[in-house]
Structure 1
């Protein structure tokens, strides 16, 4: 895979796992009848924005996640107040647009001073027009226009908080759920790609050659059969091959392969990795066969189980202090690792993407303020108490949690950059 392909693959991995997560929130929020104002990938300033129907889809500068902004979760951005002079456009005697500025330029409108307005429950507005009080009904999808932006009003029954707890919980849980589904599908695809080992294998086949590694400098090819390493027969013993190469960092090794039945010999000097073991940059495995449907499902389930155990073990080590701060990586390090894995081939990248998607789903379910897990806890408390938690208190908890997560993100990103500068 060339450098451009590696970069595009890395970007695509992040885009897919974040987008599928946010799409889960979006789909089940829309299904519950909640007005979704924005579907965003990334945070910070907008790079791209387009509005389709009721929702604005945006791509933002900082690629550290995304969000779905639902009506009622945050204070409305534009408010209409009594005493304010506005211009309204009518259709079938209903207000469809409310203009808050540049009123002299609004043609075909009724202009007046707001006497009374309710854009959430009654959907009505009283205007003082040329000394006369007039009453109008407001269309449930009416737009408030100000400073060149259109903001759709949100009747109370379109607010997130107006929906039953079970529907709100589903809209929140759907994000991680979609990550779990994506991980399972990708692991199934991976199982199909690598196949199942045959019974009683007798050889190792080179599956991929990593660019930039010593093996890439000779004429080794995918599909070559490993015969001997430093004169020792390998057969199907992958561990034996790794052991011989691993003990020879900086020392040339002779690798003999069979290609279409013809013997070929190559001298390759292993490069020491971080642990000092020699690596040449090839992956090999015994012969495989196509996996059946049942084997594919079983293998995907097994990989999900093993990966989940690995993720929770990592959390445990973090909590017990077995990890140091320098061991933590942020988006930069994750992108760097993803790029390295992309060089090894599409099968390895598929497996890595599945692991990242599973990790994102599990991480978001942790009971940490601002994450989905914390929001589900608040919904659970509301179900038990049979009344909602004070929205201001809940918002403050999530705000503090979000600020702490952003500080942590900045810290680990700084750590990532230092690591890159030091060449680690």
Structure 2
């Protein structure tokens, strides 16, 4: 089995979008493995802990008044009057890739096995070998218009340290309220509205001893990964859709398998938005955003081989672990098709858990009927007594509900 390594650099990352037109950073064959480095787009919340001294991270985040290593940050406009910067307004996540898979064609299914996940340690002089992440209670969070303490509204950044000596967990180090930050191009960011802006810690007030005596169980996983959609050349990394993307399910970690319907030749798989921990719903807007390195195995399932398998009829992302299968429902299963080119900016205005739940139900019903050969009445009975539906996220514009069925239910089959 051939093993590849894809390190982070300005040439191997793209920021804020999935794309069918960006040249692949790597091409692999079905059955090959790739070790892929990923960076959190929130690393500049604490430059000393998460960027300084790290050649890969420094090269990607480099931004001065004369030079911006990764200029385009989002699927938005690249010319004309830009308020924040190139690609502004649509997409935020740092993604490594794309990885093209030889022979992948629309109608196929790409299986991505997450073989291993490891945290990326700090290289800073004072923090070398330790691992850190950032959680932001942000303006796009579900809570933002429902605060009860002053000042209102506010965005709060909490820096966590990850301990991996035994069973991994995270502890809060400090937090601060976001204050206006000026980027190297002279743009003032009163809110967290453009990715990669370095926080000047002389302008914020650190609050120590936060979340005292609280240990957060670590769930190392990748919040955003998937293949390129066919509907547009550049597609925002924020709303998830039928080809995956920003699903934000903490179960997508070591040992999991994700399945994606291929929409374009080569598939164009990208991965990023690495997380140290997250709960269902990602309520405040982010997880513990950290940097991770994953080992992935790519298996291409050709469309003519899908009949009679669990992948028959699959037109949406699906997760498989040793214990269960999960289907992902969204407000819009394919928001680009439903809302047109403007969907990338308007989908948030339609966000609905009712529609996401309906979509998750329909997808899991189809799975039980087509794969497990149940009648509709049998499937609905089983959904009611054995399936688990949870809120995956309410912060990614196209809200998500996951429907899961345990494999043990079918142990006697």
TM-score normalised by length of structure 2? 0.19
Q: Hey, which of these two has a bigger chunk of helix by percent?
A: 1
Higher Rg: 1
The one of the two structures with greater contact order (alpha-carbon pairs below 8 A, sep at least 6) is 2
TM-score normalised by length of structure 1? 0.19
